[in-house]
């Protein structure tokens, strides 16, 4: 239980508190530094998209925030409270499992490969955690799940198992499953990368709907530049475990300042 090196507040007490703050976050796999002293704030209701070449640490950002893996240095704050750490005897110590479970309740995550539970129907996938974790009654959970499945356009598929759904449908169920926990922050980890081109639209449409109608804070890693540009409040270009450049989508896509950003964007545009 080693405290983070350096000075970190026990909780953020500024007048303005970001929904998510990465402060000096470092993640290594052996000698490989995947995130290098990352500082990043995400405001409430903001949609931040992370782009960059593979191996640049994009996905790691989301995995660290969900605490699927532990960071090596720094602190992540959620609504001003430490996420990766907890306060004990006036200092920050590594969060224990119970604390992490409580903090994770605020965050929902959708994965590239959906990770739906194959032994449950679409509806069962969506009511499982609300009942088992939040303690909702079955009636409440089903009502909530049906609303969400309706929202993603899959109410009629409620009783199908994931094996009977297309990739796009699976991802939409996965989004509904995450939303059923009523998270404050949603993470989308390359949610369209494993999809056939013709079904990508049905997933992006759902995300667009979330952006338009809900005040969710969202972090999205994607390779779809067009979608990122259209939907984001801010785009971060990652390179080598760091934010090489960030800004409003128009600015970053049209007038990138850094050479690496320009190279990346022209290479990506070449491919599409």
Binding to another protein by residue 161, rule CB under 8 A? yes
Which of 164, 171, 173 has its CA nearest to residue 123?
173
Window 67 to 106, contacts with another protein (CB under 8 A): 68, 97, 101-102, 104-105
Based on the shown chain and the rule CB under 8 A, indicate whether residue 133 belongs to the binding site for another protein.
yes
The values of phi and psi at residue 81, to 5°, are: -95, 145
The footprint of another protein on residues 163-182 (CB under 8 A) is: 163-164, 177-178, 181
Selection from 220, 174, 186, 200 nearest residue 58 by Cα: 220
Bridge partners, 41 (sequence order): 21
Minimum CB separation from another protein for residue 118, in Å?
A: 6
Considering only 35, 38, 61, 66, the residue that binds another protein (CB under 8 A) is 66
Is residue 240 exposed (0-12), middle (13-18) or buried (19+ Cβ within 10 Å)?
middle
Q: Smallest distance from the beta carbon of 188 to another protein, in angstroms?
A: 12
Q: 260: which 2 tokens?
A: 């690496």
Smallest distance from another protein to CB 31, Å: 23
**Judged by CB, which is closer to another protein: 66, or 235?**
66
Of 191, 193, 185, which Cα lies nearest the Cα of 173? Answer: 191
Write out the residues near another protein by the rule CB under 8 A: 66, 68, 97, 101-102, 104-105, 107-109, 111, 113-121, 128-129, 132-133, 161-164, 177-178, 181
């Amino acid at each position: 239980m080693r405290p983070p090196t350096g000075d970190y507040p026990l909780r953020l007490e500024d007048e303005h508190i970001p929904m998510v703050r990465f402060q000096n976050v470092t993640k290594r796999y052996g000698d490989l530094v995947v995130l290098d002293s990352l500082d990043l704030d995400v405001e409430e209701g903001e949609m931040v998209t992370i782009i960059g070449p593979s191996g640049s640490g994009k996905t790691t950002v989301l995995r660290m925030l969900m605490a699927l893996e532990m960071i090596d240095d720094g602190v992540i704050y959620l609504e001003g409270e430490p996420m990766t750490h907890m306060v004990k005897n006036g200092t920050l110590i590594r969060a224990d499992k119970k604390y992490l479970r409580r903090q994770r309740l605020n965050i929902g995550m959708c994965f590239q490969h959906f990770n739906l539970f194959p032994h449950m129907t679409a509806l069962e996938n969506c009511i499982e955690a609300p009942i088992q974790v939040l303690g909702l009654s079955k009636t409440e959970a089903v009502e909530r799940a049906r609303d969400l499945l309706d929202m993603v356009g899959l109410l009629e598929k409620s009783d199908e198992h994931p094996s009977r759904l297309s990739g796009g449908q699976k991802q939409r169920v996965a989004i509904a499953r995450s939303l059923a926990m009523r998270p404050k922050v949603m993470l989308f980890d390359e949610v369209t990368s494993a999809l056939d081109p013709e079904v990508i639209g049905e997933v992006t449409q759902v995300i667009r709907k979330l952006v338009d109608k809900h005040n969710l804070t969202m972090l999205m890693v994607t390779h779809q530049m067009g979608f990122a540009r259209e939907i984001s409040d801010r785009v971060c270009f990652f390179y080598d475990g760091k934010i090489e450049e960030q800004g409003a989508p128009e600015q970053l896509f049209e007038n990138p300042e850094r050479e690496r950003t320009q190279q990346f964007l022209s290479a990506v545009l070449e491919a599409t």
